[in-house]
A and B are shown apart, each in its own frame.
Chain A
Amino acid sequence: QGRQTTLQLFFSGE
């Protein structure tokens, strides 16, 4: 079913 990623992997913190 795959591993769930988080948004921090794609978006940068501000």
Chain B
Amino acid sequence: MFEAKLTDGTIFKKIIEAIKDLVTDVNIDATPTGLSLQAMDSSHVALVNLHLGMEGFERYRCDRNLTLGISITNLAKVMKLVNQNDSITLKCEDEPTYLTIVCQNQKHDRTTQFNVNLITLDSEHLGIPETEYTSEITMNSGEFSKLCKELYALSETVEFEISTTFVKFAVEGEIGSGSIKIQTSADEAETSRPEDTVKLSFALRYLNLFNKAYSLSNQVKLSMAAETPLVVEYEVESLGTLKYYLAPKITD
């Protein structure tokens, strides 16, 4: 059987909220060491990669590897039943046809249970090669979210440049061109590999979808290398990571 209990169920709710506009039906892999999920959006431009380690759960048991095909759209509807401070338990039998979700408040006097039907999905698993990212930056997730939203009003595409002393987000649209440059000497942002600079362009529409995860973590890590998809990574406190990959835009 499989059973995983999180004391703070709103974390799981936030994760589902943060991926539901990108991916619809996904396979969640439950193994003795944790839960993971990898899925692409329908246009194959973005990919969601989630890993939650068993250590982060209050209780975790998974006797054998299970693939749980689930509609994220429907799961998001069920997550509306999770209130602030509720714990959440996910459980199912070994040959499951549904996933049971149990939410309980702190006083233990209110319990909500819902069985979500499972679906069979063709898995479309992509192998992500080992990549040495030449440019990495960690910045305030709220600031990154705000910046992407504001730039989207001006342009569909943003060019990222990460260098020794700054990170620059440049846009060019019908109304003109401009950029936001953030000095990395401030505590909020820092480059780990300062000697290299990479410039890559990305669709802001996707970045705005990724930013729905900003409430999961105060910080977001951006990783880039030449001619490689961008990685936007949020650490889920003591549980694991939620990573988004975004294919770049190229000029022919």
Give me the interface of A with B, judged by CB distance under 8 Å: 1-14
Do A11 and B128 touch across chains, with their CB atoms under 8 A apart? yes
Chain A residues within an 8 Å CB radius of B201? 1-2
Chain B residues within an 8 Å CB radius of A11? 47, 126-129, 229, 245
How many residue pairs, one in A and one in B, have C-beta atoms under 8 Å apart? 62
Give me the interface of B with A, judged by CB distance under 8 Å: 40, 43-47, 124-129, 155-157, 172, 201, 203, 227-229, 245, 247-252
Do B129 and A5 touch across chains, with their CB atoms under 8 A apart? no
Chain A residue at minimum C-beta to C-beta distance from B47: A7
Bound-state CA distance A6–B249 (Å) is 9
Chain B residues within an 8 Å CB radius of A2? 157, 201, 249-251
Do B245 and A7 touch across chains, with their CB atoms under 8 A apart? yes
Interface pairs A-B: 8 shortest CB-CB: A2-B249, A11-B126, A6-B44, A5-B247, A12-B127, A1-B157, A14-B125, A2-B251
Instruction: Give the residue among B45, B126, B156, B252 with the most A Cβ atoms within 10 A.
Output: B126
